[in-house]
């Protein structure tokens, strides 16, 4: 099978994860049961999932010149992601805190501006570029790839760039990802968690996870990455949706976004 050369354009945050027995009420003191740190956010999770499926993925992103940014680059390299970093002037790497309750549901708090890759990027020779975030020039550069996927999180930029998008993905459960049909997109996929979702209005089913739900963080981004990968390599839509659903379900059974992501051949 022909190798698919992949890249992601998007933001990364340094995230502190904490597991709680339940979400605390006002004034309550509770004891956490687990604590760890990772670079995460849409850009990182999609890039790592693509690296597992394609064998390699490059990430075009931005970090502050600080400890969090340097730690993120090192960790992403350990995860098999080749990182190309812009350092915006006087910027600070965005941080986030994610609380995970006993149902595996996550609540996220962010601090700092989202650092976006900007300007024309060298993306001419890629089979797949997944645009998570960036400015309009970065998105226009991403369109030079053979296949372009994007999320609905940055609809303002998608409208500003005015380029056709092969795959557009959003969540029915995220108020910031509601879609009115106004973009030039070949395939629009709207996910709905355990209810599956729709692809150009046609329903598809979710896949039951192979074990208990441990953590929902990263499931949607892993679904999106796997779907884009399968379509870019030429899979039929039904097969691509099945791979994507299995990738999303796999993440649910592991701690954090990376411990149980689907690898090639699984």
Instruction: Give residue 106's pLDDT.
Output: 87
- Euclidean distance between CA atoms 142 and 110, whole angstroms: 27
Instruction: Give residue 118's pLDDT.
Output: 97
In a domain, 265, yes or no: no
Token pair recorded at residue 120: 């024309």
When divided into structural domains, the chain yields a total of 1
In a domain, 29, yes or no: no
Which residue intervals of 143-218 are DSSP H helices?
155-161
Residue 2's pLDDT band (boundaries 50, 70, 90)? low
In a domain, 181, yes or no: yes
In a domain, 28, yes or no: no
In a domain, 142, yes or no: yes
Among the listed ranges 67-71, 98-102, 159-163, 228-232, which one has the minimum average pLDDT value? 98-102
**What is the domain-level CATH number for residue 240?**
3.40.1190.20
Instruction: Give residue 115's pLDDT.
Output: 95
In a domain, 260, yes or no: no
Torsion angle defined by CA atoms of residues 227, 230, 234 and 238, in that order, rounded to the nearest 10 degrees: -60
In a domain, 233, yes or no: yes
What is the phi-psi region of residue 201: left when phi exceeds 0, alpha when psi lies from -120 to 50, beta otherwise? left
In tens, the pLDDT along 43-62 reads 999 999 999 999 999 999 99
Residue-number span of the structural domain to which 72 is assigned: 6-23+34-252
In a domain, 171, yes or no: yes
In tens, the pLDDT along 119-166 reads 999 999 999 999 999 999 999 999 999 999 999 999 999 999 999 999
Instruction: Give the Cβ contact number of residue 143 at 10 Å.
Output: 17
Would the pLDDT of 1 be above 60? no
Which residue intervals of the chain are DSSP H helices?
42-54, 67-78, 136-142, 155-161, 219-232, 237-252
């Amino acid at each position: 099978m022909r190798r698919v050369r992949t890249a992601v354009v998007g933001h990364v945050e340094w995230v502190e994860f904490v597991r709680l027995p339940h979400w605390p009420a006002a004034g309550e003191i509770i004891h956490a049961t687990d604590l760890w740190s990772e670079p995460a956010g849409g850009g990182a999770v999609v890039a790592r999932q693509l690296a597992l499926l394609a064998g390699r993925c490059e990430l075009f992103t931005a970090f502050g010149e600080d400890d969090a940014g340097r730690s993120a680059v090192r960790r992403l390299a350990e995860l098999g992601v080749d990182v190309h970093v812009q350092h915006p002037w006087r910027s600070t790497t965005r941080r986030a805190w994610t609380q995970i309750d006993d149902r595996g549901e996550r609540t996220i708090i962010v601090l700092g501006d989202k650092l976006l890759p900007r300007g024309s990027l060298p993306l001419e020779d890629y089979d797949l570029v997944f645009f998570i975030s960036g400015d309009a020039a970065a998105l226009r550069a991403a369109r030079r790839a053979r296949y372009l996927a994007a999320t609905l999180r940055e609809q303002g930029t998608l409208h500003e760039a005015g380029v056709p998008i092969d795959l557009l993905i959003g969540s029915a459960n995220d108020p910031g990802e509601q879609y009115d049909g106004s973009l030039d997109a070949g395939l629009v996929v709207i996910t709905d968690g355990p209810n599956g979702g729709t692809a150009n209005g046609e329903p598809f089913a979710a896949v039951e996870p192979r074990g208990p739900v441990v953590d929902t963080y990263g499931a949607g981004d892993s679904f999106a990455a796997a779907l884009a990968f399968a379509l870019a390599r030429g899979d039929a839509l039904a097969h691509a949706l099945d791979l994507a659903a299995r990738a999303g379900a796999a993440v649910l059974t592991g701690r954090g976004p990376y411990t149980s992501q689907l690898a090639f051949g699984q």
